[in-house]
Amino acid sequence: MFAFLGDEGPVLAQGVGVNAELFGRPGAAEVSGLFHVVGVGSITLNNILLVPSRAVTQDSQGNTVVKVTVDEEAMVYDFTGSAPQVKAGLNNPVATTKALVYTAFRSLISLDIPKNGGTLRTLKVIAPEGTVVNPVLPGATGARGVTVARIYETISGAHAQIAPEKIPACGEGINTMAVLTGYDKQNNLYLLVDLPWAAWGGRPFADGEQLAPPYYNSILTPAEVNEVYCPIMIRQRGFVPDSEGAGKYRGGFAIITDYEVLTDGTTLQLRTDRRKIPNYGLHGGQPGSLGKMTLNPDGEDRDLPKIVIPLKKGDVFRARVGGAGGWGNPLERDPKMVLEDVRNELVSLSRAQNVYGVVINESIMEVDMGQTQTLREAMSETQTNGSNDGRS
């Protein structure tokens, strides 16, 4: 699919057997004959997305609010009510706010619809000036990653009310950023910026991908690379058992990383989130576990908030990020999938039974289907929905 911008607006055209060699030949007529025009000029929302006209509101219970209004012509994303801009660098430039809307919108429409002006013209973004989604000078934006995550998750929560069959539960993205700086043994200045994200939320058709970057882009530097260039030792990086948001399709597990400092005079700057409000589940799925940041977990075990703090040689900083939310009722999860997680030591026997209603015979590590059916029937009668369905 190719997109052109003509006098009447975007033109969508489908090429047949077109390649770079062809465009090297003379003669526009010869080339244009291979294209079939499928749309010119005005494009409405109904051309690319068929959902009922409605208005939904999503509150992050933190700093962002979005009201999404759908009609036949367009979708309006109104961030009125979001928090005023702050003095710290957590504000998000309006261009990025719009980019997050466009990125999230792509999850609602078919993959064969091109990313061009015709598609984006169906969207309108209202982001009041002087707020965290559209700061004015001298509003700082350098640590906006956590706000980027919250904006995207808030938009997705609204989308889940519009097209529930398409939207995953909340993942664990770039909520945590650890910045370590100081001097190595040769007295060279170093700076390490690490974003230990974890996983996607459960999806309408599958579990959340594990150790996967968030949809809005990020990167996780391999431990070995960090150790080569910085005087630190990554003591562990692994999954946290029983930390997933349970669901028919579970969210990914939390990730734990231990950073040991190998030189004196190091400074840690920590930005962290999802310590009070977990990554939400959807449609009966449960939220993931909360994040927790700790200094010297085997000693003083000091809980760390957002902070700038000096570290000395031998100190260990532990970053345990949150687990991702689940999608759907955990009692509807395939018992074989629960058994696989138990065998992989990701889910405990007690959690398998108490949350998923799956009884496993520990001696042979197999599901007792009769007891499982009986237990699930009893749990279904008294079950309370552990999901907040995208409200945070």
**What pLDDT band is residue 29 in, cutting at 50, 70 and 90?**
very low
How many structural domains are present in the chain? Answer: 4
Give dist(CA 201, CA 192) in Å, integer. Answer: 28
Residues 299 and 338 in one domain: no
Residues 145 and 131 in one domain: yes
| Angle of the 94-106 helix axis to the 145-162 helix axis, nearest 10 | 40
Residues 100 and 239 in one domain: no
What is the per-residue DSSP string for 20-61? Answer: HHHHTSS-HHHHHTTEEEEEES---HHHH-----EEEEEE-S
Q: Specify the pLDDT at position 59.
A: 67
Q: Specify the pLDDT at position 389.
A: 47
**What pLDDT band is residue 213 in, cutting at 50, 70 and 90?**
confident
Tens-place pLDDT, residues 230-278: 999 999 999 999 999 999 999 999 999 999 999 999 999 998 888 889 9
Does residue 344 sit within a domain? yes
Q: Specify the pLDDT at position 118.
A: 80
Residues 68 and 114 in one domain: yes
Residues 211 and 262 in one domain: yes
**What pLDDT band is residue 5 in, cutting at 50, 70 and 90?**
very low
318, 178 in Cβ contact below 8 A?
A: no
Residues 187 and 307 in one domain: yes
Does residue 8 sit within a domain? yes
Q: Specify the pLDDT at position 113.
A: 82
Domain finish residue from 303, 328, 353: 328
Q: Specify the pLDDT at position 4.
A: 27
Does residue 188 sit within a domain? yes
0.75 cut: is pTM over it? yes
Domain finish residue from 328, 345, 361: 328
Among the ranges given (67-71, 302-306, 328-332), the one the predictor scored with the smallest mean pLDDT? 67-71
Determine the structural domain holding residue 156 and report its residue range. Answer: 44-167
Q: Which residues contact 149 (CB under 8 A, 6 or more apart)?
A: 173, 174, 175, 214, 216, 273
Q: Specify the pLDDT at position 286.
A: 97
Does residue 30 sit within a domain? yes
Does residue 391 sit within a domain? no
Please tell me which residue, 239 or 117, carries the higher pLDDT value.
Answer: 239
Residues 152 and 257 in one domain: no
pLDDT value at 88 more than 80: yes
Does residue 286 sit within a domain? yes
Average pLDDT, the chain: 84
Residue 360's DSSP bridge partners are: 367
Q: Mean pLDDT throughout 379-389?
A: 65
211, 195 in Cβ contact below 8 A?
A: no
pLDDT value at 22 more than 70: no
Give dist(CA 206, CA 43) in Å, integer. Answer: 33
Give dist(CA 152, CA 173) in Å, integer. Answer: 10
Domain finish residue from 167, 183, 204: 167
**What pLDDT band is residue 136 in, cutting at 50, 70 and 90?**
very high
Does residue 193 sit within a domain? yes
Q: What angle do CA 134, 140, 142 make, to 5 degrees?
A: 105
Residues 129 and 184 in one domain: no
Residues 234 and 300 in one domain: yes
Give dist(CA 365, CA 363) in Å, integer. Answer: 6
Does residue 335 sit within a domain? yes
